[in-house]
Amino acid sequence: MKVALFIPCFIDAFYPEVGIATLELLERFGIQVDYPQEQTCCGQPMGNSGAHAEAAGAERVFARNFAGYDYIVGPSASCIHHVREHLTAIDQTDEVKKVRASAYELVEFLHDVVGAREFPWAEFPYRVGLHNSCSALRHLKEASISEVAGQPFSKPRALLEGVKGIEFVKPSRPDECCGFGGTFSVTEEPVSVRMGQDKVRDHLNAGAQYIVSGDMSCLMHQQGCAERMKADARFIHIAQVLNGARA
Amino acid sequence: MATREAFIAKVRQAQPAARPRPDVPSFTTVGGDLRARFTSALQTMGGTCVEAGAASEVASLIRERFGATVSIASATAEVSGTRLLTADTEPSSLQDIDVGVVRARFGVAETGSVWFSEREYVVNALGYIVQHLVVLLDPAQLVDGLQDVYRRDDFRDARYAALVTGPSATADIEGVLIRGAQGVRSLTVVWLAAE
Amino acid sequence: MSRIDHAKAAGEFIKKTEHVAFHDKRLWDLREKRDAQAHGIAEWETLRELASGIKEHTLSHLSEYLEQFAASAEANGVVVHWAATAEEHNALVHKIMSERGMTTLVKSKSMLTDECKMREYLEPRGITVMETDLGERIQQLDHQDPSHMVVPAVHKLRADVAELFGRTIGTDPHNSDIHYLAESQRMNTRPYFVREKTAGMTGCNFAVAETGTVVVCTNEGNADLSANVPPLHIASIGIEKLIPKVSDLGVFIRMLSRSALGSPITQYTSHFRAPRPGTEMHFILVDHGRSERLAMDDFWYSLKCIRCGACMNTCPVYRRSGGLSYGGTYSGPIGAIINPTFDLKRYSALPFASTLNGSCTNVCPVKINIHEQIYKWRTVIAERHEVPFVKQEVLKMAGRLLASPTLYRATVASMSGALRRLPNFVLYNPLNIWGRQRELPEAPKQTFHAWYKQNRGGGDGNA
Q: What is the pLDDT of residue C417?
A: 58
Q: CB–CB of A60/A66 below 8 Å?
A: no
Is C356 at the interface with chain A, CB within 8 A?
yes
How far is C-alpha B4 from the geometric centre of its chain's CA atoms?
A: 36
Q: Any chain A CB within 8 A of the CB of C94?
A: no
State the DSSP code for A182.
T
Give the pLDDT of residue C60: 98
Cβ-based neighbour number of residue B87 at 10 Å: 12
CB A79 within 8 A of CB A241: no
Which residues of chain B make contact with C291, given a CB cutoff of 8 A? 10-11, 13-14
Q: How many CA atoms lie within 13 A of C101 on its CB side?
A: 2
Residue C427: which pLDDT band, with cuts at 50, 70 and 90? very low
**pLDDT tier at B29 (50, 70, 90 boundaries)?**
confident
Asked if A44 contacts C393 with a C-beta cutoff of 8 angstroms, the reply is no
- pLDDT, one tens digit per residue, over A77-134 is 999 999 999 999 999 999 999 999 999 999 999 999 999 999 999 999 999 999 999 9
- Specify the 3-state DSSP secondary structure of A46: helix
Q: Choose between C360 and B1: higher pLDDT.
A: C360
How does pLDDT run across B83-101, given as a tens digit for each residue? 999 999 999 999 999 999 9
Instruction: Please answer yes or no on whether B183 and C270 come within 8 Å at the CB atom.
Output: no
A69/C210 Cα distance (integer angstroms): 57
Chain C from 294 to 313: CB within 8 A of any B CB: 294-295, 297, 300
Scanning every residue of chain C, which has its alpha carbon at the shortest distance from the alpha carbon of A47?
A: C379
Mean pLDDT, chain C, rounded, equals 94
C26 has a chain B CB within 8 A of its CB:
yes
- Residue-level pLDDT at C445: 86
pLDDT given at position C431? 75
pLDDT at C428: 52
- Residue C146's pLDDT is 96
Contact call for B14 and C83, based on CB within 8 A? no
Contacts 24+ apart (CB under 8 A), A193-197: A193/A225, A193/C436, A193/C437, A193/C438, A194/C14, A194/C20, A194/C320, A195/C316, A195/C317, A195/C320, A195/C355, A196/A221, A196/A222, A196/A224, A196/A225, A196/C438, A197/A225, A197/A229
Chain A CA closest to residue C17: A194
User: pLDDT at position C409, please?
Assistant: 85
B7/C287 touch (CB, cutoff 8 Å), yes or no: yes
A187 within 8 A of A213, measured Cβ to Cβ:
no
Chain A residues inside the 8 Å CB shell of C412: 9, 12-13
Task: Say what the pLDDT of residue C418 is.
Answer: 54
Verify whether the Cβ–Cβ distance C254 to B124 is below 8 Å.
Answer: no
Model confidence at C398, pLDDT cuts 50, 70, 90, reads confident
CB spacing of A40 vs C436 below 8 angstroms: no
Q: Which range is least confidently modeled, A46-60, C3-17, C25-39, C57-71? A: A46-60
Residues of B in contact with C59 (CB under 8 A): 15-16, 19
Q: What angle do CA C3, C5, C6 make, to 5 degrees?
A: 125
**Beta carbons of B22 and C50 less than 8 Å apart:** yes
Tell me the pLDDT tens digit for each residue of A158-214: 999 999 999 999 999 999 999 999 999 999 999 999 999 999 999 999 999 999 999
Asked if the model's pLDDT at residue C414 lies above 70, the reply is: no
Q: Are C197 and C204 in contact (CB under 8 A)?
A: no
Task: Indicate the DSSP class of residue A230.
Answer: T
C84 and B10: CB-CB below 8 Å? yes
Residues of C in contact with A62 (CB under 8 A): none
Model confidence over C263-300: pLDDT tens digits? 999 999 999 999 999 999 999 999 999 999 999 999 99
Q: Does A180 sit within 8 Å of C356, measured CB to CB? A: no
Name which of C156, C251, C287 is nearest B10 (Cβ-Cβ): C287
Beta strands in A20-93 (DSSP E): 33-34, 71-74
| Option in C229, C248, C270 nearest B162 (CB) | C270
- Does the pLDDT at position B25 exceed 60? yes
Q: C391: pLDDT confidence band, cut at 50, 70 and 90?
A: confident
The pTM of this model reads: 0.96
Q: What is the pLDDT of residue C429?
A: 66
Q: What is the pLDDT of residues C177-227, one digit of tens each?
A: 999 999 999 999 999 999 999 999 999 999 999 999 999 999 999 999 999
How far is Cα C181 from Cα C137, in angstroms, rounded to an integer? 12
pLDDT tier for residue C463 given thresholds of 50, 70 and 90: very low
Is residue C458 over pLDDT 80?
Answer: no
CA distances from C153 to B164, C19, C156, C161 (A): 25, 12, 6, 9
Q: How many CB pairs under 8 A join B and C?
A: 258
Residue C420 has a pLDDT of 52
CA-nearest of C169, C189, C187 to C179 is: C187
Residue of A nearest to C39 (CA): A149
CA–CA distances in Å: residue B33 to residues A51, B152, C266: 59, 21, 23
Could you read off the pLDDT of B46-71 as tens digits, one per residue? 999 999 999 999 999 999 999 999 99
CB contact under 8 A, B173 and C161: yes
- Distance, first Cα to last Cα, chain A: 32
Q: Are strands B99-103 and B132-137 parallel, antiparallel or unpaired?
A: parallel
Contact B42, B112 (CB under 8 A): yes
Q: In chain B, what residues touch C246 (CB-CB under 8 Å)?
A: 150, 155-156
Whether the CB-CB separation of C89 and C284 falls below 8 Å is answered with yes
Q: Which residues pair with C106 in a beta bridge?
A: C130, C200
pLDDT bucket at C424, cuts 50 / 70 / 90: very low
**Contact C303/C292 with Cβ under 8 angstroms?**
no
CB-CB under 8 Å, A57 with C400? yes
Q: How far is CA C62 from the centre of its chain?
A: 22
C228 at interface of B, judged by CB pairs closer than 8 A: yes
**Residue in A200, A201, A194 with CA at minimum distance from that of residue A213:** A200
The answer to whether the CB of A215 falls within 8 A of the CB of A78 is yes
Interchain contact C/A (3 or more Cβ pairs less than 8 Å)? yes
**In the predicted structure, residue C422 carries a pLDDT above the cut 70:** no
Say yes or no: B158 contacts chain C, CB-CB below 8 A: yes
What pLDDT digit, counting tens, does each position of C139-175 carry? 999 999 999 999 999 999 999 999 999 999 999 999 9
Q: What is the mean pLDDT of residues C326-336?
A: 97
- Indicate yes or no: CB of C395 within 8 angstroms of CB of A46: yes
Give the C window 119-148 contacts with B, CB below 8 Å: 132-135, 138
Q: Which amino acid is at C460?
A: D
Q: How close is the nearest chain C Cα to the Cα of A197, in Å?
A: 10
Query: What's the one-letter identity of residue C371?
Result: H
Closest to B145 (Cα-Cα) out of B5, B37, B14, B19: B37
Q: Model confidence at C460, in pLDDT bands (50, 70, 90)?
A: very low
Q: Which of C92, C221, C250 sits opposite B150 (nearest CB)?
A: C250
Could you read off the pLDDT of C225-253 as tens digits, one per residue? 999 999 999 999 999 999 999 999 999 99
Which residues have a Cβ under 8 Å from the Cβ of B174 and sit 6 or more positions away? Answer: C22, C26, C157, C158, C178
Can you tell me the distance from the alpha carbon of B168 to that of C380, in angstroms, rounded to the nearest whole number?
A: 45
The pLDDT-based confidence of C461 (bands split at 50, 70, 90) is very low
How many angstroms separate the CA atoms of B174 and C171, rounded? 18
Banded model confidence at residue C426, pLDDT cuts 50, 70, 90: very low
Q: Which of A60, A173, A184 sits opposite C355 (nearest CB)?
A: A184
CA of C350: which chain A residue's CA is closest? A188
Q: Using 50, 70 and 90 to split pLDDT, how confident is the model at C441?
A: confident
